Amino acid sequence: MDNFKFHNPVKIIFGKDTIREIGSEIHSYGISKVLILMGSGSVKKNGVYEQVTDSLEKYGIDYVEQWGVTPNPILSHTEESLEIARKEQVQAVLAVGGGSVIDEAKAIAAAYYAPDVWSLFEKTYKATNALPLFTVLTISATASEINSFFVLTNDRENKKWSCGSPHVYPKVSIIDPTVQKYLPINQTINGGVDTLSHIMEFYFMGENEESTLSINEALMRTVIKSVDELVSDPLNYDWRANLAWCSSLALQGITSVSMGGGEFACHRIEHAISALYPSVAHAEGLSVLFPAWIEYVSSLKPHIFERWAKNVWEVDSVAAGIEKMKEKFKYWGAPVSLSELDIEQDEFEKIAENALLIGEVGKIKELNKQDIISILNIAQ
């Protein structure tokens, strides 16, 4: 096992009826004015907005609202939100929503003390400070509520890039799984697929790190079981709560111990796809790419892919594991081919070039442009 440092400072408050604690948590930091960042309005329909604002008012916390964060959040909206945060001189950002809202909130928090937002992503400016960040999570998928990463699309340049800074770890994140019970089923499935993908990005880097590999297998099996159960019984609280917690655990440090920083080729190619086709949800790209990528690279490291096939999918070969995963995705209603996303072969070169803009893609196999096109052909 490699040496490692483990540090995750995020306080998680998890369970039923926990959203009303947000006011006292923010108040305990001596904060009296926040920017509340939200998406397109689901939080008004499911009562989350009311619970949040009631709690803030109870603790005398003033707030400014900014709506309109899109799935696959964009730079231009982030810049607008940052301007509001500065003009209103808020002392913290409160994200109320999913990964997209939290990621934009992180970008605002870090850019508050930076010359501009995109320089953080270009790595020409390194954040040395950030506004304190709090989150109320409404969809479990990205683990952004418990990690220090954020992803934004530069809508002027069609670049979807990620950034990380220890200064943007949320101070407190509230996860009340009951607010996810009326999620459209495809969003629940997206959450399951993204969670599985995060675990796989680390798992396949493994050799013989039994603790991390076993934890990751248990998480993968639990995610699959939870989504299966929720597909037939979306209101089941216990499976909803299990999926939510697996989702947070998948990308917060435990699953990556001694895994060489993760593989992340599929995430890089997916980010290129949603940079060019913003209507494609992050997890839709991943459910199409992962089976194809495994097919393309698994012979380079057969033992770990065979172990995955046996311990996660209960089959004897990698090919059968891929087949079972695709069957499962189809059963859930997740896409397994690029044609289902309306992406045609003549666009593959553009996707490959976009993925390579930030530099090397892939570790088990470093993928060049032709490799990426070959993976996209398998995914067609």
Binding site for ligand NZQ (CB under 6 A): 39-42, 46, 71-72, 97-101, 103, 138-139, 141-144, 147, 149-151, 179-180, 182-183, 187, 190, 194, 251, 267, 282
The distance of closest approach from Cβ of residue 210 to ligand NZQ in the complex, given in angstroms and rounded to an integer, is: 26
Instruction: Please report how close the Cβ of residue 271 comes to Zn ion at its closest, in angstroms.
Output: 9
Burial readout 119-130 (b: 16 or more C-beta within 10 A, e: otherwise): ebbeeebebeeb
Judged by beta carbon distances under 5 to 8 A according to partner kind, the member of ligand NZQ, Zn ion, none in contact with residue 150 is: ligand NZQ
Determine which residue in the list 103, 194, 201, 209 makes contact with Zn ion, applying CB under 5 A.
Answer: 194
Residue 190 touches which member of Zn ion, ligand NZQ, none, C-beta under 5-8 Å by kind: ligand NZQ
Residue 78 or 100 with smaller CB distance to Zn ion: 100
Q: Report, in Å, the least distance between residue 159 CB and ligand NZQ.
A: 13
Q: What is the smallest separation between the CB atom of 374 and ligand NZQ, expressed in angstroms?
A: 23
- Closer by beta carbon to ligand NZQ, 103 or else 263: 103
Window contacting Zn ion (CB under 5 A); options: 49-57, 119-127, 192-200, 256-264:
192-200
Nearest approach, Cβ of residue 96 and ligand NZQ (Å): 8
In the list ligand NZQ, Zn ion, none, the entry touching 41 (Cβ below 5 to 8 angstroms by class) is: ligand NZQ
Q: Which is nearer to ligand NZQ, 41 or 302 (CB)?
A: 41
Whichever of 91 and 256 has its CB closer to ligand NZQ, that residue is 256
Binds 72, which of Zn ion, ligand NZQ, none (CB < 5 to 8 A, cut-off by type)?
ligand NZQ
How many Å from the N-terminal Cα to the C-terminal Cα in the chain?
38
The one-letter amino acid at 163: C
39 touches which of Zn ion, ligand NZQ, none (CB within 5 to 8 A by kind)?
A: ligand NZQ
Q: If contact means CB under 5 to 8 A according to the sort of partner, which of ligand NZQ, Zn ion, none does residue 97 touch?
A: ligand NZQ
Secondary structure of the chain in the HEC alphabet?
A: CCCCCCCCCCEEEECCCCHHHHHHHHHCCCCCEEEEECCCCHHHHCCHHHHHHHHHHHCCCEEEEECCCCCCCEHHHHHHHHHHHHHCCCCEEEEEECHHHHHHHHHHHHHCCCCCCHHHHHCCCCCCCCCCEEEEECCCCCCHHHCCEEEEEECCCCEEEEEECHHHCCCEEEECHHHHCCCCHHHHHHHHHHHHHHHHHHHCCCCCCHHHHHHHHHHHHHHHHHHHHHHHCCCCHHHHHHHHHHHHHHCCCCCCCCCCCCCCHHHHHHHHHHHHCCCCCHHHHHHHHHHHHHHHHHHHCHHHHHHHHHHHHCCCCHHHHHHHHHHHHHHHCCCCCHHHHCCCHHHHHHHHHHHHHHCCECCCCCECHHHHHHHHHHHC
Pick from ligand NZQ, Zn ion, none: which does 138 bind, CB < 5 to 8 A by kind?
ligand NZQ
What residues have CB less than 8 Å from 46, skipping those under 6 apart? 138, 179, 182
Determine contact, residues 130/170, Cβ cutoff 8 Å. Answer: no
Nearest approach, Cβ of residue 247 and ligand NZQ (Å): 9
Contact status, residue 116 vs residue 75, Cβ threshold 8 Å: no
Choose between 18 and 153: whose C-beta lies nearer to Zn ion: 153
Nearer to Zn ion, 49 or 245 (CB): 245
Only one of the segments 29-37, 110-118, 124-132, 187-195 lies at the binding site for Zn ion (rule: CB under 5 A); that segment is: 187-195
Residues 53-112 that bind Zn ion (CB under 5 A): none
Using the minimum distance from each CB to ligand NZQ, give the nearer residue, 276 or 318.
276
Contacts of 319 (CB under 8 A, 6+ apart): 295
Give the range of 186-194, 226-234, 297-305, 323-331 binding Zn ion by CB under 5 A.
186-194
51 binds, among Zn ion, ligand NZQ, none (CB under 5 to 8 A by kind): none
Which spans of this chain sit near Zn ion (rule: CB under 5 A)?
A: 194
